[in-house]
Amino acid sequence: MTLPHFTGARSSPYTEGSEVSMRIRVNRLHALQLAWVVLFALMSAGAQSNPDRQNNNNDRPNNDRPSNNQPNSDRPSPAAPGADYSGMYSFLRDGEFVQLTVEDQGHVIGFVSRYADPEAEGGFLEHFFKSGRLDGSQLAFTTETVHGISFEFHGTVERGDGKSRGDEAYYVLKGTLVEDSTDAAKKTSSRSSEVALKSFPQDLAPPRAEKK
C-alpha cells in the first residue's frame, strides 16, 4: 500500500501555544525593562535637584534662613516712647519732688512728695497720680487729694542744661501747675503758677533721703 505524500508540514497545536507564550514573556520582559529605565531616570533627576535646593539654603544669609528655635521671648522688647523721661524732678521747695514713670501707650504713673506743713516739720505727704498722660513731649497729670490739696500739671518735657543723665536738669518739666485746696468749711480755691521742674541726676536719691 502506498502512503499518501504531504508536500507541506503541519504545525502542532502544542508548538503554536509555546510560541505564543514565548512572545508574551518577551513582551513582559521588555515592559519591565522600560519601566526600570523610566524609574531610574526619575530617581536621578530628583537626586540632582535636592543638592541644588540644599545649596540654595546654605547660600542664604543667616537672617534669611527660617528658624523655629528662636522664641519671641528672646527678642528684646522696644522701649516705650518717652520712657527716658521717667525719673525724679524737683517740686516747689527743696526736698520736695515729683516721681513719674512713662509706661506703654503714653500712660504715666507717679506721685508728688511734699512737706505736710509750711514749716517742713510734719513729715511728707505723697499725692499719687489720679491720671497721667504723655503725648510726644506734652505732659499732663492730676494727683489725688490729700489733706484737702491736689495738683494738676499741663506742660512739656524739654531738654535742660544738663549735659548727661548724670547731671541735674537734663530734662525740665515746663508748664502750668495748679494747686486746688479745700478748707475745713468746704471752701475751694485754686492757685496756678508757671514752673520749671528740673530732673535730678540719674540714680541720685532725693535730698530728704540723703539726710537719713
Query: For 51-101, how does the pLDDT look when each residue is reduced to its tens digit (9 = 90+)?
Result: 444 455 555 555 555 455 555 555 555 566 788 999 999 999 999 999 999
pTM above 0.75, yes or no: no
pLDDT range class, residue 6, cuts 50, 70, 90: very low
- pLDDT confidence of residue 8: 46
Which residues touch 111 (CB under 8 Å, ≥6 apart)? 98, 99, 126, 127, 128, 129, 143
Instruction: Tell whether domain 83-203 is in CATH 2.40.128.30.
Output: yes
Residue 39 pLDDT grade (very low, low, confident, very high; cuts 50, 70, 90): low
Phi, psi (deg, nearest 5) at residue 109: -120, 160
Per-residue pLDDT tens over the stretch 119-166: 877 799 999 999 999 999 999 999 999 999 999 999 999 999 999 989
Averaged pLDDT of the chain = 76
